[in-house]
Amino acid sequence: MKVLVIGGGAREHALCRSLSQDPAVSELHCAPGNAGIAQVATVHPVDQLDGAAVAALAQRLAADLVVVGPEAPLVAGVSDAVRAAGIPVFGPSGEAAQLEGSKAFAKDVMAAAGIPTARAYVCTTPAEAAEALDAFGAPYVVKDDGLAAGKGVVVTSDRAEALAHAAACFGASPGPHGPGRVVIEEYLDGPEVSLFAITDGDTVLPLVPAQDFKRALDGDQGPNTGGMGAYSPLPWAPEGLVQEVLDTVLQPTVDELRRRGTPFSGLLYAGLALTSRGTRVIEFNARFGDPETQVVLARLDTPLAGVLLAAAKGTLDTLEPLRWHEGAAVTVVLASEGYPAAPRTGDVIEGLAEADSADGTVFVLHAGTRADEAGQVLTAGGRVLSVTAVGTDLAEARERAYQGVGRIGFKGAQHRRDIALEAAAG
């Protein structure tokens, strides 16, 4: 099978790594990729947001499957362009990807399907936003309606800061629904869980839960980011959580989107809060999470390509149950100085080869990296690397991941020191 992966972050490196280990995959391509992906796939300098260019590349390569990683190409309709060219694609249509592309759309789907989530107001003026903030009280949750790479959400007890974020969202460039909309919602307390499911629009196959660390600094301080680390499994999660979320969240969402005539196939990501009043959806994403994918795929034993192809072709109901490795996985993100506000780039990364263990238990996945003419690997984005490790338990995986982190250096590198710390300690 010839597979083309679209994207160039650590999530796509994790996807490419798993696909490259699948004996069913004869050729692996990625566009645009990064310096790490280039070691396991042939990379192509194609604009990932250009559906026609991606479809043309897939046709030229005679790809049997295209896997779209990030949200921006999904929302831009890249899957639709590939599907229209007659090539199976893992990733929802642009319309179905609105589940992530518009927080207001997601709230509407959840209301229609009776899915438990935070109560919310969709606001279009600063006055409405102020009213909504006061209706819920602190802590305030203010979300840009559109895509913001994990940085559109502010959670704060400072009313002025909440209002300022709303004002910034109103002033941002207009989305598909007109000029800036802001979603203000009730604060959900309790631990967060990311649960992914693979779906063909009908059958829903949940993966194993993971936890992400969204804040930039130790102890969940600092600004929200795309994610600074992750681990799986969650030893503290209630028994039956996956089945509960399948029955009350994932399957009803997939059924509702099919009923609307916009079936969702691809990866449905439920971001959940386990509150004292029960499980609530914080957000949906229309693609694999980053960095959770790094740990979820590290635990997956079933070869990946056949699973993604079955979702793309609508035959998930014929698949054998997924198999998982025993043990645990932890990933720690190394980010550039200034991330998330203003990441610096262009610094040489040292120690990459030393960080990968010979036995495959520690491996470095690249995010924002590029190789220069001399073959040096340079930082090229906010999140630079995901140092990932597996072990018999979380403590071992965690220790190995941080050993890997310790071998890598670049100017201004930052990472959290508390990824999986509490969970590993029991």
Among 150, 206, 209, 368, binds ligand GLY (CB under 6 A): 150
Q: Among candidates 116, 120, 91, which has minimal Cα distance to 103? A: 120
Binders of ligand AMP among residues 224 to 243 (CB under 6 A) are: 224
Which is closer to ligand GLY, CB of 57 or CB of 169? 169
Q: How many residues bind ligand AMP (CB under 6 A)?
A: 15
- Cα separation, 233 vs 371, in Å, equals 34
- Which two three-digit tokens encode residue 424? 């590993």
Which is closer to ligand AMP, CB of 200 or CB of 292? 292
Q: Which of the choices ligand AMP, ligand GLY, none does residue 224 contact, using the CB cut-off of 5 to 8 A by kind?
A: ligand AMP
187 in contact with ligand AMP (CB under 6 A): yes
Whole-number Cα distances in Å, 418 to 109, 250, 313: 36, 30, 41
Q: Cβ of residue 282: shortest distance to ligand AMP, in angstroms?
A: 5
Beta carbons of 408 and 36 less than 8 angstroms apart: no
Stated as kind and residue range, the H or E segment containing 283 is: strand 278-285
61-89 b/e with 16+ CB inside 10 Å = b? bebbbbbbbbbbbbbbbbbbbbbebebbb
Among the listed ranges 28-36, 124-132, 239-247, 288-296, the one in contact with ligand GLY (CB under 6 A) is: 288-296
283 in contact with ligand AMP (CB under 6 A): yes
Q: Cβ of residue 43: shortest distance to ligand AMP, in angstroms?
A: 29
Among the listed ranges 51-59, 284-292, 313-321, 384-392, the one in contact with ligand GLY (CB under 6 A) is: 284-292
Q: Cβ of residue 293: shortest distance to ligand GLY, in angstroms?
A: 8
271 in contact with ligand AMP (CB under 6 A): yes
Angle at 23 between CA 21 and CA 26, to 5 degrees: 95
72 in contact with ligand AMP (CB under 6 A): no
Which is closer to ligand GLY, CB of 55 or CB of 90? 90
Report residue 306 CA to chain centroid gap.
21
Count of alpha carbons within 13 angstroms of residue 102, beta-carbon side = 20
Among 185, 200, 290, 292, binds ligand AMP (CB under 6 A): 185
233 in contact with ligand GLY (CB under 6 A): no
- Cα separation, 95 vs 75, in Å, equals 7
- Helix residue spans in 65-180 (DSSP H): 71-75, 78-84, 98-101, 103-113, 126-136, 159-171
- Cβ neighbour number for residue 235 with a 10 Å cutoff: 11
- Cβ neighbour number for residue 166 with a 10 Å cutoff: 27
268 in contact with ligand AMP (CB under 6 A): no
Q: Which of the choices ligand GLY, ligand AMP, none does residue 118 contact, using the CB cut-off of 5 to 8 A by kind?
A: ligand AMP
Largest CA distance in the chain: 59
256 in contact with ligand GLY (CB under 6 A): no
192 in contact with ligand AMP (CB under 6 A): yes
Among 65, 118, 405, 413, binds ligand AMP (CB under 6 A): 118
Q: Which of the choices ligand AMP, ligand GLY, none does residue 187 contact, using the CB cut-off of 5 to 8 A by kind?
A: ligand AMP
DSSP code of 249? Answer: I
Q: Which of the choices ligand GLY, ligand AMP, none does residue 155 contact, using the CB cut-off of 5 to 8 A by kind?
A: ligand AMP
Q: Cβ of residue 132: shortest distance to ligand AMP, in angstroms?
A: 13
- Helix residue spans in 150-270 (DSSP H): 159-171, 241-245, 251-259
- Write down the residue that tokens 């635990």 correspond to: 299
227 in contact with ligand GLY (CB under 6 A): yes
How many residues appear in the chain?
426
141 in contact with ligand AMP (CB under 6 A): yes
Among 207, 212, 273, 369, binds ligand GLY (CB under 6 A): 212
Among 80, 144, 256, 292, binds ligand GLY (CB under 6 A): 292
Binding mask 147-176 for ligand AMP (x = CB under 6 A): ---x--x-x---------------------
